[in-house]
């Protein structure tokens, strides 16, 4: 259905020839999963298909890279089915991270070390414009090894074909390394000694860790005796990521940078829990020692990129715009049989630029600027009262395909409910205090993908509590419990605390709505929650958008801007016509 609707050519032109000196190189790689299937009947009704999020033509996916003035997205794809398996490296390219052309896969399974699939990995630039892939091969016994591939023809600006090294596998499980828990190499970085370093995800005695490998030539790798970092409070670390972020800076930092004023981020996707956690710390490239500011505790206090559905993410450094960009894979919340009927499964969150917060305690994430090109008609208002228990409709907007920014003025907070010190799990707190549970200061926020009469609605909202020491705690929730009349869906309610002082700062929310995905950024990107919903009534033109306040105290909408969004262009490989170069 979708591929036939797509235009055959993109409106922008490919460069006439490649200017090797001017074109900078970015790569995105990551991906922990995707699937694609031939011969699958795609239902003619696709109310849940997203329109400005990246998806392969069919089936499910995850992962990112950027190179030569062109962004490359590599993702895990199953060419045969919407069910995970037969992993290849799917490949799509873009000039702007918004509109994409799907190409043939970059890597296929089938060599002695990867008959069971080419699984996740990363891209590293060996030197300026020379990218290589490190990926995990899985053999028929499930044994995992790390392998190398490079572009067959560096003069091809699209880097369509990749060749695997004849020296593969480069890293095999040795000694006490469990061969079934040995995967997902990071982007490598170069130390002051000129040696490459790379991390590989691992599990030992049921605990997650990252192994450190070093190499002079990128081919012969040595495993360090001690793990780079480990945690007794997590399972297997999938898709680890390790990169510097600038202290007090406005720009991203290259992975190999020796810049002094940085902290480092160590991220792990925790197997079976399916959340992406990160810690901040100090890294010395002289000693290869990483000291974490706070280690994973295995509880709700651990930092996450996103407190909803978001997994197997990867960052890359965009050298042209000096920013670090995060891609994450967003799973479905319906069943596998729904996926078979839809003919696709999984999509990528809108790429987010990443910076360190001013207090150096967390990351700040924001949708890349380019997505704003898709904004069309704008609706806005300022200084509107939202009395306790009221809703306010945002008119004249395609509410199923929208970008919304709203900020609130709060009443005096001395009357806020008192926070119980036992409330440490924000997700639990949000599940017990959904939007239909009235409070004092909040719940207030947005009702998105709402049906007329509000039978269906997803509430993205805040509640403010007072703690004993007269500080305030801001809770952000995404309440899916009334998102659809369909019953068999995963409607888990998500929650996060936001590190914000509501006395001195406005509480703001940005939400990107795209049919079945709702991505919310609270407190200017301090806390993010992504949800998947499948309404039965609130689809297409039937969907509506509201601001609401269900606290007893009045709040005001200080400002609301909402834009109807255009579709991004995704040109399918089924269109045999190749882009003109
Ligand atoms: C993987 O591919 C083989 C054909 O090579 C097919 O028989 C099998 O069903 C596929 N498995 C999945 C999960 O797609
Ligand atoms: C490499 O790519 C360039 C540009 O697409 C093309 O002109 C050239 O023929 C290719 N070389 C080979 C060996 O395929
Ligand atoms: C983690 O557990 C192992 C035993 O499984 C123990 O030897 C080690 O000291 C523990 N590490 C930490 C940091 O608690
Ligand atoms: C990291 O470095 C900063 C600045 O030197 C220091 O204040 C902090 O204590 C260090 N953190 C750790 C965990 O060593
Ligand atoms: C995907 O979502 C389903 C439904 O919510 C959940 O059961 C499953 O664990 C998720 N899988 C991953 C890999 O996140
Ligand atoms: C909301 O706006 C009204 C009218 O402008 C004003 O009287 C009221 O004080 C405002 N309330 C808050 C909480 O800012
Ligand atoms: C507000 O709270 C009332 C009472 O609990 C509930 O019936 C209603 O659905 C809530 N409104 C919203 C928008 O959640």
122 and 136 Cβ atoms separated by less than 8 Å: no
Q: What is the pLDDT of residue 454?
A: 98
Q: Which ligand is nearest to the CA of 263?
A: 4
- Answer whether residue 364 shows pLDDT above 80: yes
Task: Provide CB contacts within 8 A for 51, sequence distance 6+.
Answer: 401, 514, 515, 565, 567, 568
Q: Whose CA is nearest to atom 12 of ligand 2?
A: 153
User: Ligand 5 test: best mutation among 33, 35, 312, 331, most atoms within 8 Å of CB?
Assistant: 331
- Answer whether residue 69 shows pLDDT above 90: no
| N-terminal to C-terminal alpha carbon distance within the chain | 27
**Average pLDDT of the residues in 413-425:** 92
Give residue 344's pLDDT band: very low, low, confident or very high (50, 70, 90): confident
Q: pLDDT (tens digit, 9 = 90+) per residue, 176-203?
A: 899 999 999 999 999 999 999 999 999 9
Q: What is the pLDDT of residue 28?
A: 41
Domains (ranges, CATH) in the chain? 23-367 (2.115.10.20), 377-565 (2.60.120.560)
Taking the CA of residue 281 as reference, the ligand 4 atom at the shortest distance is: 13
- Answer whether residue 26 shows pLDDT above 50: no
Q: Which ligand is nearest to the CA of 455?
A: 7
Q: pLDDT (tens digit, 9 = 90+) per residue, 75-96?
A: 988 877 777 788 899 999 999 9
Give residue 306's pLDDT band: very low, low, confident or very high (50, 70, 90): very high
Q: pLDDT (tens digit, 9 = 90+) per residue, 117-138?
A: 999 999 999 987 899 999 999 9
Residue 337 CA to ligand 1 center (angstroms) comes to 17
Instruction: Verify whether ligand 7 is closer than 6 Å to residue 435 (CB atom).
Output: yes
Give the other-Cβ count within 10 Å of 265's Cβ. Answer: 22
CA distance 254 to 282: 16
Q: What is the pLDDT of residue 23?
A: 28
Question: Which among 297, 290, 339 is positioned nearest to 81, based on CA atoms?
Answer: 339
Q: pLDDT (tens digit, 9 = 90+) per residue, 517-571?
A: 999 999 999 999 999 999 999 999 999 999 999 999 999 999 999 999 999 998 8
CA distance 477 to 456: 17
Could you tell me how far CA 157 lies from the centroid of its own chain?
A: 26
Q: What is the pLDDT of residue 5?
A: 26
Q: What is the pLDDT of residue 573?
A: 55
CA distance 256 to 258: 6
Give residue 574's pLDDT band: very low, low, confident or very high (50, 70, 90): low
């Amino acid at each position: 259905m979708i591929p036939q609707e797509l235009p055959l050519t993109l409106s922008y032109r490919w460069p006439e020839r490649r200017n090797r000196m001017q074109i900078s190189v970015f790569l995105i790689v990551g991906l922990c999963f995707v699937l694609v299937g031939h011969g699958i009947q795609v239902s003619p009704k696709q109310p849940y298909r997203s329109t400005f999020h990246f998806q392969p033509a069919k089936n499910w996916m995850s992962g990112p890279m950027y190179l030569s003035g062109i962004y490359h997205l590599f993702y895990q794809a199953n060419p045969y089915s919407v069910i995970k398996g037969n992993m290849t490296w799917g490949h799509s390219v873009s000039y702007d991270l918004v509109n994409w052309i799907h190409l043939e896969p970059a890597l296929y399974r089938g060599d002695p070390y990867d008959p069971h699939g080419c699984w996740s990995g990363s891209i590293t630039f060996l030197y300026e414009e020379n990218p290589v892939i490190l990926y995990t091969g899985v053999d028929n016994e499930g044994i995992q090894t790390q392998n190398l591939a490079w572009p067959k023809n560096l003069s091809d600006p699209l880097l369509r074909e990749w060749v695997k090294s004849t020296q593969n596998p480069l890293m095999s499980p040795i000694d006490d390394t469990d061969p079934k828990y040995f995967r997902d190499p990071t982007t490598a970085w170069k130390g002051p000694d000129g040696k490459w370093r790379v991390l590989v995800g691992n599990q030992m005695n049921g605990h997650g860790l990252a192994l450190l490998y070093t190499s002079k030539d990128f081919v012969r790798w040595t495993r360090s005796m001690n793990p780079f970092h480990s945690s007794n409070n997590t399972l297997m670390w999938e898709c680890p990521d390790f990169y510097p972020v600038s202290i007090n800076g406005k720009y991203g930092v290259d992975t190999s940078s020796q810049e002094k004023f940085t902290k480092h981020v160590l991220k792990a996707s925790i197997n079976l829990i399916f959340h992406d956690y990160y810690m901040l710390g100090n890294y010395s490239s002289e000693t290869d020692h990483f000291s974490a500011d706070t280690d994973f505790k295995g509880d709700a206090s651990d930092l996450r990129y996103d407190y909803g559905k978001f997994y197997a993410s990867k960052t890359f450094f965009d050298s042209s715009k000096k920013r670090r960009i995060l891609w994450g894979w967003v799973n479905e919340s319906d069943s596998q049989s729904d996926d078979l009927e839809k003919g696709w499964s999984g999509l990528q969150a809108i790429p987010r630029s990443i910076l360190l917060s001013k207090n150096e305690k967390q990351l700040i994430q924001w949708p890349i600027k380019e997505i704003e090109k898709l904004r069309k008609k704008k609706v806005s208002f300022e200084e509107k009262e939202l009395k306790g228990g009221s809703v306010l409709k945002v008119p004249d907007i395609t509410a199923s395909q929208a970008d919304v920014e709203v900020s609130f003025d709060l009443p005096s907070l001395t009357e806020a409910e008192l926070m119980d010190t036992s409330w440490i799990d924000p997700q639990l707190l949000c599940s017990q205090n959904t939007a239909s549970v009235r409070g004092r200061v909040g719940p207030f926020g947005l009702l998105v993908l709402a049906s007329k009469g509000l039978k269906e609605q997803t509430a993205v909202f805040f509640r403010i509590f007072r703690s004993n020491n007269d500080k305030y705690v801001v809770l952000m929730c995404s309440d899916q419990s009334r998102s659809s009349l369909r019953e068999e869906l995963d409607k888990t309610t998500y929650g996060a605390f936001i590190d914000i002082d509501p006395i001195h700062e406005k509480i703001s929310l940005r939400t990107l709505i795209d049919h079945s995905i709702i991505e919310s950024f609270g407190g200017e990107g301090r806390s993010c929650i992504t949800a998947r919903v499948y309404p039965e009534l609130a689809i297409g033109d039937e969907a509506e958008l509201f601001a609401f306040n269900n606290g007893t105290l009045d709040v005001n909408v200080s400002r609301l801007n909402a834009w109807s969004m255009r579709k991004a262009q995704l040109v399918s490989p089924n269109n045999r016509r190749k882009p003109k170069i």
